[in-house]
Chain A
Amino acid sequence: MTPAADRPSAAGARYHWGALVGGGLLAVAGLRSRAALGVPLATAGAALLYRGARKSPVPTPGMRPRVAAPVDVKTSVTVRGSPAALYARWRDFRNLPQFMRHLHGIEPLGPDSYRFEARLPGFDAPFRWNADVVEDKPGQCIRWSTPPDSALMQRGMVTFTPAPGGRGTEVHLCIAYRPGSATATAVTRLLGTVNAQVIKEELRRFKQWMETGEVPTIEGQPSG
């Protein structure tokens, strides 16, 4: 599994930094200005800042792919806790939807076999696929994959290695999604909802959940 698809180009990096810095400055200047131009300036700046921060792709003419682009994500986080404890929590795949919000449910079909379920916007029925654990080293590594000829190809690998100096455990996660035997609209839609930032946030939630027992939120708080 290569992380190449996730690696930003130099031009991309320049665009993102330009958007971040320029957007921040525009927003600040707009907010400072009491003239009529202030609000649109601040809004444009904020939009650019948001775009830079979200690392959205560099806009090019004719973008908007209609075919499902493969998703290839590699990310890592350090979690307080032993490799064995983190492994055990992950190995019970029914726990995954607790922190992987692009998954709606996981049902065990056998000791090494699971049915994954995702709910997609615009589809009434949940989208399901099967995946098997293909490598399992207790306390070290779990690898899972869809069987050949699936409508959707999904592969994942998570490794748990002790961080130096008692800093916990380094958790490295690789996730790949590809359209499989059928080019179903649902597959395209699913691949459109999963990207590097989504997976990064899911791994962050794993850390938050393991370290504190909850995931921080502001959903449902009051505002004026």
Chain B
Amino acid sequence: MKAVCWFGAEDVRVEQVPEPGLLNPHDAIVRVTRTAICGSDLHLYDGYIPTMRAGDILGHESMGEVVEVGSAVRNLRVGDRVVIPFTISCGQCDYCTRGLYSLCDNSNPNAWIPERLYGHAPAGFYGYSHAFGGYAGGQAEYVRVPFADSGPLKVPAELRDDAVLFLSDVFPTGYQAAEQCHLREGDVVAVWGCGPVGQFAIQSALLLGAERVIAIDRIPERLAMAETHGEGRVQALNRDLMDVSEAVHDLTGGRGPDACIDAVGLESHGAGLMGRYDRVKQALMLETDRAAALREAIQLCGKSGTVSIPGVYGGLVDKFPIGAAFNKGLTLKLGQTHVQKYMPLLLEHIVRGDIDPSFVITHRLRLDDAPEGYALFRDKHAGCIKVTLEP
């Protein structure tokens, strides 16, 4: 079969590989009908995530048709049309039974690697390095789905792939980011980064009753997308054209946002002296993650506000403004998304017509064109915001 394989930084190729087979009784095999490139795949593409091996199959946003099920699978049948959550979760451990699927105790065969780095290991993920399980990803014609009883969500035939694909990651990720802000009436939310996760964080904040959303980015088409779909409640700030700190201050009557969402993560561009500082430190190997957006979010967040972090971080950051967070009594909410927890609710929103997640798609490519898709997305060329791939 064809699969998108990682061979090194900026080296992604479509290769012929063997088709996956059942390896465990709870496995299923899915024929992929649609998959997507995630912003977090760009961290792999740029070489920021260690423990990748040449030949690893990428992709953690996929859907398709079940073609084979293991002997212990009860919830799925051959022929079911499913969206696959990026989190692999056993459904049986203490964390899974509490709905904390991305913290599954049992799904990562290489749990010892993150245990050494982080103390404890999160769940395994598809196509996201051997530290996170080393599972072959879904940017391929077929994918093996472990613990198939507690992952894939069956979707109705009348909904297009476009409309439901993002239940696999970016929609739940944006939703969790907004939900954990525990919005109250009148709350103003500021969102750093208007890529796909940022777009869904904005949409979710609106669904959850935010008074207004301030969208911060430097890419005009991303800001325009946020405003176009913002029901008149989204205010876009282009950081290349204005002082973000001053604008946020003015837009909130000096209170600061009640909640701030960092949908940027470890490759934050940063500007000015601090941006250069981070680039130098990263180049000198004194820091792994650049956190310009996170620092600014903490600095601008109003007193007793929440800073919610769906953006991915992997290692260490420097100049973390702990004093601002402490003295303003902020709440920090962070972590990988518990995708399975949100999938049914968000599917309902799609069925009811509250949201059509396909609005973020700017490029529909063939799986064969994946290398071009990675480059387009990373370089934000041709107005690229979200790339889907069809095998």
Residues of A within 8 A of B (CB): 16, 20-22, 24-29, 31-32, 42, 45-46, 49, 52-55, 78, 80, 167-168, 197, 200-201, 204, 207-208, 211-224
- Cβ of A55 and Cβ of B50 under 8 Å apart? no
The residues of B that contact A45 with a CB separation of less than 8 Å are: 50
Q: B204-225, CB under 8 A of A: which get 1 and which 0?
A: 0000000000000000000000
Q: Tell me the bound Cα distance from A75 to B145 in angstroms.
A: 31
Q: Are B106 and A212 within 8 A (Cβ)?
A: yes
Asked if A28 and B48 make an inter-chain contact with CB atoms under 8 angstroms apart, the answer reads: yes
Contact of B93 with A by CB under 8 A:
yes
A-B contact pairs, 17 of them (CB 8 A): A24-B50, A24-B315, A28-B48, A28-B50, A31-B47, A32-B282, A201-B112, A208-B106, A216-B88, A216-B146, A221-B144, A222-B3, A222-B17, A223-B56, A223-B136, A224-B5, A224-B7
Q: Which residue of B lies closest to A46 (CB)?
A: B50
In chain B, what residue has the closest Cβ to A41?
A: B285
Contact B47 A216 (CB under 8 A): no
Q: Are B13 and A224 in contact (CB under 8 A)?
A: yes
Q: Which of these, A16, A207, A222, contacts B57 with CB under 8 Å? A: A222
**Residues from 83 to 112 in B contacting A, C-beta threshold 8 Å:** 88, 90-94, 97, 105-109, 111-112
Instruction: Please name all residues of chain A whose beta carbon is closer than 8 Å to the beta carbon of B147 when the two chains form the complex.
Output: 212, 216
Determine the chain B residues whose CB is within 8 A of the CB of A78 once the complex forms. 94
Q: Which of B3, B91, B113 contacts A53 (CB 8 A)?
A: B113
CB–CB A216/B124 < 8 A: yes
B258 CB, min distance to chain A CBs, angstroms: 33
Contacts of A222 in B (CB 8 A): 1, 3, 17-20, 57, 136, 140
Give the dominant DSSP class at A's interface: helix
Judge if B361 is at the interface, Cβ distance under 8 Å.
no
Kindly provide the distance from the CB of B321 to the nearest chain A CB, expressed in whole angstroms: 22
Shortest CB–CB separation between residue A91 and chain B, in angstroms?
22
Determine whether B372 belongs to the interface, using a CB cutoff of 8 Å to chain A.
no
Nearest CB in chain B to that of A25: its residue: B285
A27 partner residues in chain B, CB cutoff 8 A? 50
**Are A217 and B283 in contact (CB-based, < 8 A)?**
no
B residues within 8 A CB of A55? Answer: 116
Which of B17, B51, B113 is the one whose CB lies under 8 Å from A223? B17
Known contacts A212-B106, A224-B5; A167 and B136 CB within 8 A of each other: no
Known: A20-B116, A212-B147, A214-B25. A221 touches B285 (CB 8 A): no
**Contact B93 A211, beta carbon cutoff 8 Å:** yes
* Residues of chain B contacted by A211 (CB below 8 angstroms): 90, 92-93, 105-106
What's the tally of chain B residues with a CB closer than 8 Å to chain A? 63
B interface with A by C-beta (< 8 Å)? 1, 3, 5, 7-9, 13, 15, 17-21, 23-26, 46-48, 50-51, 53-57, 72, 88, 90-94, 97, 105-109, 111-113, 116-117, 124, 133-136, 140, 144, 146-147, 282-288, 315-316
Return the contact of B23 from the options A197, A208, A219 (Cβ within 8 A). Answer: A219
B116 contact set on A, CB distance < 8 A: 16, 20, 52-55
Q: Nearest chain A CB to B245's CB is how many angstroms away?
A: 29
Q: Judging by beta carbons under 8 Å apart, are B5 and A217 in contact?
A: no
Inter-subunit contact B47/A32 (CB<8 Å): yes
Closest-CB distance, A203 to chain B (whole angstroms): 12
A224 touches B17 (CB 8 A): yes
Contacts of A213 in B (CB 8 A): 25-26, 72
Q: Are A224 and B286 in contact (CB under 8 A)?
A: no
Question: Are A212 and B92 in touch, CB under 8 angstroms?
Answer: yes
State the 7 A-B residue pairs at the shortest beta-carbon distance, nearest first: A31-B47, A224-B5, A25-B285, A224-B15, A224-B55, A223-B55, A53-B116
B105 touches A207 (CB 8 A): yes
Most buried by A among B48, B105, B134: B105
**Contact (Cβ within 8 A) A218 B5:** no
Q: Which residues of B contact A216 (CB under 8 A)?
A: 24, 88, 90, 106-109, 124, 133, 146-147
Measured between C-beta atoms, what is the minimum distance from B368 to chain A in Å? 14
Instruction: Please determine whether B90 and A220 come into contact, CB atoms closer than 8 angstroms.
Output: no
Q: In the complex, A20→B146 CA distance in Å?
A: 30
Q: How far is the CB of A161 from chain B (nearest CB, A)?
A: 16
Which of B140, B144, B286 is close to A25, meaning CB atoms less than 8 Å apart?
A: B286
Q: How far is A222 from B3 in the complex, measured between Cα atoms in Å?
A: 9
CB <8 Å contact, A220 and B50: no
B96 to chain A, nearest CB (A): 9
The complex places the Cα of A223 from the Cα of B233 at a distance, in Å, of 46
Whole-angstrom CA separation of A21 from B285 in the bound complex: 9
In the assembled complex, the Cα of A26 lies from the Cα of B315 at a distance in Å of: 13
Residues on A with beta carbons closer than 8 Å to the beta carbon of B107: 216
| B288 interface neighbour in A25, A167, A219, Cβ under 8 Å | A25
**Chain A positions within 8 Å of B51 at CB level:** 46, 49
11 further A-B contacts with Cβ under 8 Å, apart from A212-B92, A219-B23, are A28-B315, A53-B113, A207-B105, A212-B147, A214-B24, A216-B90, A216-B124, A216-B133, A222-B1, A222-B57, A223-B57
- How far apart sit A223 and B129, CA to CA, in the bound complex (Å)? 13
CB proximity of A106 to chain B, nearest CB, Å: 23
- When distances are taken between beta carbons in the complex, the residues of chain A under 8 Å from B105 are 207-208, 211
Residue among A21, A200, A217, A222 facing the most chain B CB atoms (10 A cut-off): A222
Bound Cα distance A49, B285 (Å) = 13
* A29 → B minimal CB distance (Å): 5
Partner of A220 from B21, B134, B316 at Cβ < 8 Å = B21
